[in-house]
Amino acid sequence: MSTSTGFSEVYGRDAEAGWQSPGRVNLIGEHTDYNDGFVLPLALTIGTTVEGARRDDRLLRIASIEPDMPMVEVALDGLAPGDVDGWTAYVAGTAWALAEKGVPLVGADLLVDGTIPRGAGLSSSASLECATAGALLALSGADLPLRDIALLAQRAENVFVGVPCGVMDQFASTHARAGHLLLLDTRSLEVRHIPFDLASVGLTLLVVDTRAPHALVDGEYAARRASCEEAARILGVPALRDVTDLDVALAQLPDDILRRRVRHIVSENARVLDVVTLLEAGDVRAIGPILSQSHVSMRDDYEISCRELDLVVDTALASGALGARMTGGGFGGSAIALVETTDLERIRARILEAFASAGLTTPGFVDAQPGNGYGPTR
């Protein structure tokens, strides 16, 4: 993920620091992170690199390695939500959140390079925020606990960018460990690294980018979150994580939509813990049906799937996958399938055929080897 050559081409001098932070794919635990629940993502080996060099003034210059992305200049002093929009808001927002946390930021020239396909639902935003935080901290000679970095990156997205996301993506990007899943309790913020070596048991996690347009900024994500908060209020619990008897809770809710939203969150939370139990017992193949149940719950109860995601899941399962589900925020983005490695090529070919015969854009396949969380590039 190094961009050294690009930096001197853009700025005419060498970078002084570089930080990289990965994207993620979530194995299970969807939309549970804003309900104080559990999530189980892994970091990908693709992500975002931010390289930088200090400036003597109080300016941030933000450039991208991608063509046709004009450089943006932002004054650090007086920076406030609403000042910057577009993709550079994730960078400026992270600077704003660091300053708010008391970090004495210096001005900087920054260059961003990313390898996560855009719109794939693989957390390019969190990876950009976290890589920016790492680079700005290094340039400013400051440091913060990893947990604070994840939280301030989320705050940048919530307040500065205006997306009411939970904290899963930023935790995955900063805390993940190669060869492991990251079990995060989003209430206590405790993490556990769960070994996830699929190759040793002949399995592969296939990630399929449906290329269906995917935008969390639109109202659907916020609407799901609001429904969960409303249901928790009616049920008299701090968060849906605290629902202990689903049937009793369902009987207390006034309408069918709220009942379905709650059923997804409560059952999904339990599925995360069931998957962890099976993985720790070495029973990896047994998680397949749980992944598929999660998809049905998101499709029918949480209503965040779409035609392309359902097509990947249905085709993968019909072609012998052990389990499959959409992953991430939904309404587009990516789906995953747990497959026997010997079936991988056949299942990929079936998915390509299914998309072609439905007249849909050709989907992309992403390598899902669990990688490390964020760190310096040199």
The Cα angle at residue 270 between residues 265 and 273, in degrees rounded to 5: 130
Q: CA gyration radius for the chain? A: 21
Q: How near is the Cβ of 161 to ligand GLA at its closest, in Å?
A: 11
Both structure tokens of 207: 């990630």
Q: Does 332 bind ligand GLA (CB under 6 A)?
A: no
C-alpha span between 135 and 91 (Å, rounded): 11
Residues 231-250 that bind ligand GLA (CB under 6 A): none
6 part of the interface to ligand GLA, by CB under 6 A:
no
Q: Judge contact between 193 and 181, C-beta under 8 A.
A: yes
Q: CB-wise, 7 or 160, nearer to ligand GLA?
A: 160
For the question of residue 218 being annotated catalytic, the response is: no
- Smallest separation (angstroms) from ligand GLA to the CB of 329: 3
The nearer residue to ligand GLA, 60 or 191, going by C-beta atoms, is: 191
* Three-class DSSP category at 256: helix
261 binds ligand GLA (CB under 6 A): no
For residue 122, the 8-state DSSP code is: S
Residue 216 or 317 with smaller CB distance to ligand GLA: 216
Q: What are phi and psi of 151, to 5 degrees?
A: -70, -40
The token pair that represents 217 in the structure block: 């900024």
Q: Would you say 150 and 171 are in contact if contact means Cβ atoms under 8 Å apart?
A: yes
- Based on CB atoms, which residue is closest to ligand GLA, 19 or 221? 221
Residue 322 and residue 316 in contact, taking contact as beta carbons nearer than 8 Å = no
Q: What is the rounded CA–CA span in Å between residue 294 and residue 335?
A: 12
Taking the least distance from each CB to ligand GLA, the nearer of 74 and 298 is 298
Please tell me whether residue 36 binds ligand GLA under the rule CB under 6 A.
no
How far apart are CB 183 and ligand GLA at their closest, in Å? Answer: 14
CB count in 10 Å sphere of residue 39:
28
- Pairing, β 375-376 against β 17-26: antiparallel
Query: Which residues sit opposite 25 in a β-bridge?
Result: 42
CB closer to ligand GLA, 134 vs 166:
166
Contact status, residue 246 vs residue 263, Cβ threshold 8 Å: yes
Residue with tokens 């399938």, as numbered in its chain: 337
Residue 329 touches ligand GLA, criterion: CB under 6 A: yes
Which position among 169, 209, 301, 343 bears the catalytic label?
169
Is 31 one of the binding residues for ligand GLA (CB under 6 A)? Answer: yes
**Residue ranges in 191-220 that form contacts with ligand GLA under rule CB under 6 A:** 216
| Contact pattern for ligand GLA over residues 279 through 308, marking x by CB under 6 A | ------------------------------
Q: Is 240 helix (H, G, I), strand (E, B) or coil?
A: helix
Rounded least distance, CB 328 to ligand GLA, Å: 5
Q: Quick check: 328 binds ligand GLA (CB under 6 A)?
A: yes
Helix (H) or strand (E) holding 209: strand 203-209
Q: How far is the CB of 39 from ligand GLA (least distance, A)?
A: 7
* Footprint of ligand GLA on 151-170 (CB under 6 A): 165-166, 168-169
Smallest distance from ligand GLA to CB 166, Å = 3
- Contacts with ligand GLA by CB under 6 A lie at 26, 30-31, 33-34, 165-166, 168-169, 216, 328-329
State the catalytic residues: 169
